[in-house]
Structure formats: C-alpha cells, structure tokens
C-alpha cells in the first residue's frame, strides 16, 4: 500500500503538472468519452493502458467477469453506467472486453468453493449462457480449453444482454451505436475482436479493418423498405 501511495504523490508532483492543460480543458468543458468499455475487474487488465487512453477518452465500467445483466433483471451499477454513457454522454461505441485466464469464468466452469461467496455465485449466473453454449456445442473441451471457450462465449452473451438495455436499443435502431466484443490475451499481449459477420475473433491489426461485432445501421430503413 505504501508503494501505491507513493505513486499518488508522483501523480500530484509530476503527472498532473505535465498534463495541466488537458485537465483544465476537461474541468472547463466536461467529459466527452469516445467509448464505453465494460471490462473485467481483474487487476491485470487495465482498459486505459490497453487502449493507451488519455484522461477523458474512455468511460469505464469494471466488474467480475465483464458482465452486463439483462435490463430489469438487476438494476444497479452496470445498468446505470450504460444508461448514463449513452443517454447523457452520447457514447456511440461500447466495448465488452474479456480476457484470458479469467477467474470469473473459472469459477463458473468449476463452482466448487462458491458456497462461501453467495454474491459471487449469484452474479456469475449472468454468464451461464456461455457455459451452456460451450457444454452443448463444444462438449469435448476440457480444462483450460473449456475455460478459454467460455471466455469468448461470455463476451458474445454479454453483448446480447447489452442490447436489452433501452438506451442501447434506441441508439442501435437509429444507427448511432456500434458494439464491439474484445478478448485480451494477457499471455500474448494481443487483443482479439469479434467479427459479427463471421462469428470469429480475430487479432486486431493496424493494417486491417477493425472487426466489429454489431456495426451501426439504422433499422428503421428496413421497416420502410418492407412497406
């Protein structure tokens, strides 16, 4: 803890003065983050570092398992963060970001010991779709391979849950919202993104198009075409 406190002093003495103009602008004009990232609370995953974000760039919500409960099933911090990011801040890109070696997915796959953590057990039920999909469609997987498959499926499941939130549904229907599903491979130092067209996760590369899970597209145009 003393080491962390020392870094606070370094922020006050070095970091803040060198970025005083930026902080002044954010104080005067408020925030306009470019994206909302919903990531795992795992201490090894730092969204701002992964995206090399500066203050004001990224709105972040972190929790165990990068979970987004379906709307109205558990109104709380995640729901409020999503609603505020979209309705108040005008965020138009949301990233659900999982990672390899995820303790939440390990606990979901092998729940022995969760008896002593009833709140964790209840929370992880929001990721049960990932377990069901893997066990049903990839039942041959075991051990680390099973957990890794659940990590990817959990990102897909949480993107589906995210679309039940009215603020997100409204923005998507208007063609103002894109959804992204990422997995950070902490062993390789790579980020993989879900391509909604192929259903596959591919490594993000600066010389290739960004894979997007659900690109922005106004749905009312399809309704007009049907008429």
Supply the DSSP string of 111-150, one letter for each residue: -TTGGG-HHHHHHHGGGHHHHHHHHHHSTT--HHHHHHHH
Q: Is the dihedral of CA 52, 54, 59, 64 positive or negative?
A: positive
pLDDT at 225 over 60: no
pLDDT at 72 over 90: no
In this prediction, residues 5-32 reach a mean pLDDT of 89
Give the CATH fold of the 30-203 domain: Beta-carbonic Anhydrase; Chain A (3.40.1050)
Which pLDDT tens digit goes with each residue over 91-144? 999 999 999 999 999 999 999 989 999 999 999 999 999 999 999 999 999 999
Which pLDDT tens digit goes with each residue over 161-218? 999 999 999 999 999 999 999 999 999 999 999 999 999 999 999 999 999 999 998 8
Q: Does the annotation place 97 within a ligand binding site? A: no
Q: Does the annotation place 57 within a ligand binding site? A: no
Q: Does the annotation place 61 within a ligand binding site? A: no
Side-chain half-sphere exposure of 1, counting CA atoms within 13 A: 0
Q: Does the global pTM surpass 0.75? A: yes
pLDDT band at 15 (very low <50, low <70, confident <90, very high): confident
Cα torsion at 26, 48, 41, 214 (round to 10°)?
A: 100
Q: Does the annotation place 137 within a ligand binding site? A: no
């Amino acid at each position: 803890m003393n080491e962390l406190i020392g870094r606070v002093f370094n922020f006050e003495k070095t970091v803040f003065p060198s970025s005083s103009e930026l902080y002044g602008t954010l104080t005067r004009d408020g925030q306009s983050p470019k994206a909302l990232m919903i990531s795992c609370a795992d201490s090894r995953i730092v969204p701002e570092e992964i995206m090399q974000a500066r203050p004001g760039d990224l709105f972040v919500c972190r929790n165990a398992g990068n979970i987004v409960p379906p709307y109205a099933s558990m109104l709380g911090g995640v729901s409020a963060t999503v609603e505020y990011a979209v309705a108040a801040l005008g965020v138009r890109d949301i990233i659900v970001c999982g990672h390899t070696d995820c303790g939440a997915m390990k606990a979901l796959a092998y729940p022995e010991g969760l008896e002593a953590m009833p709140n964790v057990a209840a929370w992880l039920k929001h990721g049960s779709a990932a377990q069901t999909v893997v066990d049903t469609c990839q039942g041959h997987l075991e051990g680390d391979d099973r957990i890794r498959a659940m990590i990817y499926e959990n990102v897909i499941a949480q993107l589906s849950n995210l679309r039940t939130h009215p603020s997100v549904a409204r923005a998507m229907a208007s063609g103002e919202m894109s959804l992204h599903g990422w997995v950070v491979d902490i062993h390789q130092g790579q980020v993989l993104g879900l391509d909604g067209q192929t259903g596959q996760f591919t490594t993000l590369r600066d010389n290739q198009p960004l894979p997007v899970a659900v690109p922005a597209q106004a749905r009312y145009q399809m309704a007009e075409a049907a008429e």
